[in-house]
Amino acid sequence: MSSTGIVSTGSYVPTTVVTNEEIGASAGVTPEWIVRKTGIHERRRAAAHEATSDLAAHAARNALAQAGLRPEQLSFIVLATSTPDHPQPATASIVQGLIGATNAAAFDVNAVCSGFVYALTVADRMLSGQPEGEYGLVIGVDIYSRILDYTDRKTCILFGDGAGAVVLGPVDKGFGVLETGLITRGDQHRLISVPAGGSRIPATAESVEAGQHFFRMDGRGVRGFVHENLPTALHQLLAKAGISTSEVDHFIPHQANGVMLTEVWPDLGLHNAGLHLALKRYGNTGSGSVPITLDLVHRQGLLGQGDVVLLSGFGGGMNVGSVLLRWAATAYSTVSQKPEPLLLTG
């Protein structure tokens, strides 16, 4: 008998680095102000020729290579993004063609910054009960640099571009995905939005002139949502799984804002867990932030056999999604002499 778990990870960030000096100049703030408000020092920006599918394909290839799998061995691809290549077709379909996953069904999930965890939950359900040897690919990716108003200091300083991916497949019984939890507070959906470009407000010259195609966020409202909903969601998930807060070894959250995460951290009660943050160098990469950070943690050998790992995404919708795993050994897993985190804190 086997369970479903993460058998490999991969990520990709563009090569162009955007410093706080550069982003702060357009927003009218200092680099020191950005660090004080967010904990972010720099972020990456996709090149003009790179679309969301290109970043996703790079991350997918890295995850497949780590797993030692060929693309045609995948049964499906679930891609989470809120910045697709086009309104249609699904970006996952484009990625399927780019990587040559000829046997994989492919579709997108949009739960904004919670997207990867939502997609991982869907993929876990798809693999449950399937014959052993089935594999699925889950990708989280966003290019927020294309939808930012660079004069809006509340948003433009936060975001970077990037993609992360995991391969899901069979692991030993008792390992892998232990429990998942998803919540939505649709009555608060106006806290985060891109107002124009859909059926409510189609893209027009007037909507562009009014800046309605840009990402907008009520920062104070989002902070209140996270403080109110994240601790409760995580405690409910752990109780459902029969796992105490003290048993969690690693917490990998959506990399929304380092200051906000530090503020909410005591309320989570994860006193024995490492809080892993990669946002100092990569900023908030939307749906990509959880899998990018997971890949960094994994490739540094910080995830040991049997470690309890808690992933959580939260954001537009408003959504909170969490997945609890017991880590199964991979080529990068170690149980002793773990190196100090290079990009992470906790």
Active-site residue 284, yes or no? yes
For residue 156, indicate whether it is catalytic: no
**Which listed residue (58, 250, 254, 298) is catalytic?**
254
DSSP 65-115: HHHT--GGGEEEEEEE-SS-SSSSS-HHHHHHHHHT-TT-EEEEE--GGGH
162-192 burial by CB neighbour count: b if 16+ within 10 A, else e? bbbbbbbbbbeeebbbbbbbbbeeeebeebb
Catalytic residue among 250, 284, 298, 319: 284
Pairing of strands 74-80, 135-143: parallel
Amino acid at residue number 196? A
Beta carbons within 8 Å of 230's beta carbon, 6+ residues apart = 264, 267, 268, 312, 314, 320
**111 — alpha (psi -120 to 50), left (phi > 0) or beta?**
alpha
Q: Which residues of 256-265 are buried (b: 16+ CB within 10 A; e: fewer)?
A: bbbebbeebb
Q: In which order are the strands placed within the sheet that holds 135-143? A: 2-12, 161-172, 135-143, 74-80, 105-109
Query: For tokens 């100049």, what's the residue?
Result: 25
Single-letter residue type at 13: V
Helix (H) or strand (E) holding 18: strand 16-19
In 10 A of CB 20, how many CB atoms?
22
Tell me if residue 129 falls in helix, strand or coil. Answer: coil
Of 20, 58, 62, 113, the active-site residue reads 113
> Looking at the annotation, which residues are catalytic?
113, 254, 284
